[in-house]
Chain A
Amino acid sequence: MNIDSIQNGVVLDHIQAGKSMDIYRYLHLDQLDCSVAIIKNVKSAKMGKKDIIKIDSPMEVDLDVLGYIDPNITVNIIRDGVRVDKKHVELPKRLVNVIHCKNPRCITVSEPQLDAIFLLSDPATRTYRCAYCETAKDKKL
């Protein structure tokens, strides 16, 4: 299968196979007018299988969102058909308005205008807790 190279835009590489639609949703890529290619189950020497997303337009990518979903993702910035930058994402220490608390007793549930803030409490298990009520976020997206 052939997908054209992009001239100016972003390539998200090394996405864990099957996670590309989560990223599509969290980055709100459905709201873009440009071409977006989601390539699933690409053969990878390092990962076995991986997903790739190509976005045919320059855009600011929320690295915190990517880091939360999968810290192994790489972000390639393409200008005039050439990769000009490659960013590695990290597990973010703080997430703002990426995920929301499900605890019915939490103030952010009754007052949804508050920023939904989550803090990394355990990097080993990638556990995030609501900064308000400390309820852990289930990592399943």
Chain B
Amino acid sequence: MPRNLIDITDLSVEEIDQLIATAEDIIANPAKYQDACAHKQLATLFFEPSTRTRLSFESAMLALGGSTLGFSEANSSSTAKGETVGDTIHTVSCYADIIAMRHPKEGAPFAAAQYSEVPIINAGDGGHNHPTQTLTDLLTIHREKGRLNNFTIGFCGDLKFGRTVHSLVNALSRYANINYVLISPLELKLPRYVKEEALKKKGIPYSQTTDLESVIPELDILYMTRVQKERFFNEEDYLRLKDSYILTPEKLEHAKADLSILHPLPRVNEITVAVDRDPRAAYWRQVKNGKFIRMALILKLLGIQV
């Protein structure tokens, strides 16, 4: 059975630490890795549009000396003819050494893994999980703070459909002494199952609020998210909630001097462009980290040691 990454908890804490260490080594010594995946092929199967995730996977594989193939929307694959995920994956696993897939339906990568002969990486499944964004977030927190424990992190925006939030809360729940502040409109609160499984069961403290400004002074990390239009069945609900939180330089005046602002991107208007000039804005560094951690992950799942 190939090793897959479907959910962030498929990786142990030790394995995540090891991936972070590999990513740090790749950043320090890129030439050492430039031919590590020579003659290997990564298939990027994106049944849903993406800029960052797909390009960072492809960039990661190319930087490792491998090559890529795939599609960037369901309409350009046999899915448009009614092919099942299982048959698509069965086919592609005959051509590629490893597959990264994004799909609008929750659990599609889990289904794919049942049919694949090569490793499957979940590159996002609906509003469910996005484990490689989580690895990116963990590497970013590690690089910004120098640790993955002992801090207060605020998650702000759409915590209901924000799959990156679900995965990151799950991942951080395995590290010590982290306080969670959940900031969202009442309609977009973190799902009960995430709170129960990741936090309550482990006795981890968290607080919930609708007011960003009242809690911003206590945060070490602020994880902003976009209200995702594509997850709403009802456009009226989206229009009512989309501008719930907009981070501006004024709101940051009361934040800590060493706050780190993360965002999985793309953003719409929840962080004003003026914030980009603030050194606490870590989201562009976060994008860069995404490539390096995916390089480390590809190496791990292909069993390649450098």
Interface string of A3-40 (1 = CB under 8 A from B): 00000000000000000000000000000000000000
Which bracket fits the contact residues of B? 10 to 19
Q: CB of A106 within 8 A of chain B?
A: yes
Which residues from A are CB-within-8-Å of B104? Answer: 105
Indicate if the CB atoms of A105 and B111 lie closer than 8 Å: no
Indicate if the CB atoms of B106 and A107 lie closer than 8 Å: yes
Q: CB of A136 within 8 A of chain B?
A: yes
Q: Contacts A114-B86, A134-B128: A107 and B193 contacting too (C-beta < 8 A)? A: no
CB distance from A106 to the nearest CB of B (A): 5
Q: Contacts A105-B127, A129-B193, A134-B193: A111 and B84 contacting too (C-beta < 8 A)? A: yes
Please classify the interface of chain A as helix (H, G, I), strand (E, B), loop, or mixed, using the class held by over half of its residues.
loop
- Bound together, the chains give a CA A133 to CA B106 distance in angstroms of 5
Closest to B115 in A: A114
Indicate if the CB atoms of A108 and B107 lie closer than 8 Å: yes
- Bound together, the chains give a CA A135 to CA B197 distance in angstroms of 12
Q: CB of B103 within 8 A of chain A?
A: yes
- Bound together, the chains give a CA A105 to CA B231 distance in angstroms of 9
B68-127 contacts to A, CB under 8 A, are 84-86, 103-108, 110-111, 125-127
Indicate if the CB atoms of B193 and A106 lie closer than 8 Å: no
- Bound together, the chains give a CA A87 to CA B290 distance in angstroms of 53
B interface list, Cβ under 8 A from A: 84-86, 103-108, 110-111, 125-128, 193, 197
Q: List 13 A-B contacts (CB under 8 A).
A: A103-B106, A105-B126, A106-B105, A107-B107, A111-B85, A111-B111, A114-B86, A129-B193, A132-B108, A132-B111, A133-B107, A134-B106, A135-B193
